[in-house]
Amino acid sequence: MFKVPEYEINERITKLKKLMRKKAIDAMFIVQRMDFFYFSGTAQNGYLYVPAEKEPLLFIRKYMPRAEKESSIKQIIEIKSVKEIPGLILKYHKKIDRVIGFELDVMPVNEFYFYRKLLSCEKCQDGSGLIHSLRMIKSSWEIEQMKHTAKISHRVFDYIKKVIRPGISEMEFSGIYETYARKLGHAARLRARNYQSELYNWHILSGSNGGIVGMLDSPATGQGTSPAHPCGGSNKLLNRNEPIMIDLGTNINGYHIDETRMFAMGSMPKRAENACRAVIDIHNTIIKKALPGTMLDTLYREAVNMAEEMGYKNEFLGPKGYKVTFIGHGLGLEIVEPPFIAEGKKDCIKSGMVFALEPKMVFEHQFSAGIESVFIVTDTGGCLLSSVPVDIFINH
């Protein structure tokens, strides 16, 4: 059975308490599923109450036997209703703390009002920043989990290279390699903190479908992704001699890897191949320069300047008027986490941060070119966690 080690849980809670004391937060009430898992080791239906000066209380609605096996929290209490929690806090701790922190970056307003009233808070604070600051720095144990996920992702990309063929639709092909990934333990879903996101495990953009217009609907064929779900793949058939971008998110035991590679069957048009080589050069340079203390915005600017010097100012990070302003994002228990290698981000990177770096170009109405790999920041620069070769894959 997969289990987060007890020492890992204890260290996370100890660090959280230290941050809480600095911010004068008496207790944290944690309900968001991945934060809950991060600090308790289980993702069962429940609530985690972490006082700054006392031991945490883990309240479980369903399923208690599994929570007891998975969690290293000493005090696990089965409840039938969330309304039991105030009385149980009084029973075990003799009082309910005055200043309570909540995950206000994601907690729905009505839920917040309910918990605030339930716990009779004198003062509520946003504690999500404390949680983000801890989760941004990955422990050695977490890095090992992500390395394992990276190995599974590598196997899936190797499989893609073997089975890709012309005449099959983007959507059908994505189903083929997703099935293979499931056999290797892929959780079949990706976690995200943004309530507006519906995350696909895969995105496949072939030929003109990589040029944005074709992503919603192709005027020439009438084939495209659903307007209500404009992601993933479409009914467009894969063809020989066209660039094909495959973006795969992999989730094993909660830990994510996010990777993109370019494919072609037969040959890739020279213009597309040159663009792919350019983003690989940007990718490799940014990883080398990802030293602790480097400002996030500095890395972003370096990538943009490189693209402009190579003649790709108009295409890098999207077409004019629709460019994104980041080239990388943190990831771990969620596919997109802080921090972001983005325009205007003045925070400095630290050793132990993990990023998905994704320099990409869009040639409007024509094709996309890009790459995405996961790396960890070390004292001497970035080091790849991804094990998929940093290259273009062409089946002749």
Q: Tell me which architecture the domain covering 140-395 has in CATH.
A: Alpha-Beta Complex (3.90)
Measured CA distances, 160 to 157, 171, 242, 315, 385 (Å): 5, 14, 16, 27, 20
Please report the sign of the dihedral spanned by the C-alpha atoms of residue 183, residue 189, residue 190, residue 191.
Answer: negative
pLDDT tens digit sequence for 98-140: 999 999 999 999 999 999 999 999 999 999 999 999 999 999 9
Under CATH, domain 6-135 is a member of which superfamily?
Answer: Creatinase/prolidase N-terminal domain (3.40.350.10)
For residues 286 and 275, what is the distance between their CA atoms, to the nearest angstrom? 17
Average pLDDT, the chain: 93
Q: Is the pLDDT of residue 292 over 50?
A: yes
**Cβ pair 330, 136 in contact under 8 A:** yes
Tell me 98's DSSP state. Answer: S
Residues whose CB falls within 8 Å of the CB of residue 115, separated by 6 or more in sequence, listed in order: 29, 31, 102, 107
Rounded to 5 degrees, φ, ψ at 192 are -140, 150
For residues 67 and 84, what is the distance between their CA atoms, to the nearest angstrom? 18
Amino acid type, 58: L
Q: In terms of residues, how long is the chain?
A: 396
Pair of tokens at residue 14: 């100890």
For residues 252 and 188, what is the distance between their CA atoms, to the nearest angstrom? 9
pLDDT the model gives residue 216: 35
Rounded to 5 degrees, φ, ψ at 31 are -130, -25
Closest CA to 370 of 288, 330, 315, 322: 315
pLDDT tens digit sequence for 185-222: 999 889 988 777 667 778 899 999 888 643 433 333 33
Quickly state the pLDDT bin for 284 (edges 50, 70, 90).
Answer: very high
pLDDT tens digit sequence for 2-56: 999 999 999 999 999 999 999 999 999 999 999 999 999 999 999 999 999 999 9
Residues whose CB falls within 8 Å of the CB of residue 317, separated by 6 or more in sequence, listed in order: 304, 307, 323, 324, 325, 327, 359, 360, 361, 362
Quickly state the pLDDT bin for 233 (edges 50, 70, 90).
Answer: confident
pLDDT the model gives residue 219: 34
pLDDT the model gives residue 215: 41
| Alpha helices (H) in 198-339, listed in sequence order | 213-216, 270-288, 296-309
Fold match flag (6-135 vs 140-395): no
For residues 3 and 42, what is the distance between their CA atoms, to the nearest angstrom? 8
pLDDT the model gives residue 201: 77
pLDDT the model gives residue 225: 58
- When pLDDT is averaged across residues 305-315 and rounded to a whole number, the result is 97
- When pLDDT is averaged across residues 356-369 and rounded to a whole number, the result is 96
Please report the sign of the dihedral spanned by the C-alpha atoms of residue 142, residue 246, residue 350, residue 342.
Answer: negative
Residue-range domain boundaries for the chain:
6-135, 140-395
- Give the whole-number percent of the chain exceeding pLDDT 90: 87
Instruction: Specify the DSSP element, H or E, that contains 21.
Output: helix 6-22
Pair of tokens at residue 377: 């920041």
